[in-house]
Amino acid sequence: MTGQELKQSVENALEEIRPFLKNDGGDIALLDIENDDTVKVQLLGTCVGCSVNQMTLKSGVEMTIKKHAPQIKSVVNVEMA
Q: How many CA atoms lie within 13 A of 43 on its CB side?
A: 26
Amino acid 81: pLDDT: 61
Amino acid 13: pLDDT: 96
* Any domain includes 47: yes
- Number of domains making up the chain: 1
Tens of pLDDT, residues 2-57 = 889 999 999 999 999 999 889 989 899 999 999 999 999 998 988 777 777 777 77
Q: How far apart are the first and last CA of the chain?
A: 34
* Any domain includes 65: yes
* Any domain includes 21: yes
Range of the domain at 11: 3-76
* Any domain includes 9: yes
On the 0-12 / 13-18 / 19+ scale of CB atoms within 10 A, 61 is: buried
Amino acid 65: pLDDT: 95
Arithmetic mean of pLDDT, 59-72: 93
CATH of the domain at 36: 3.30.300.130
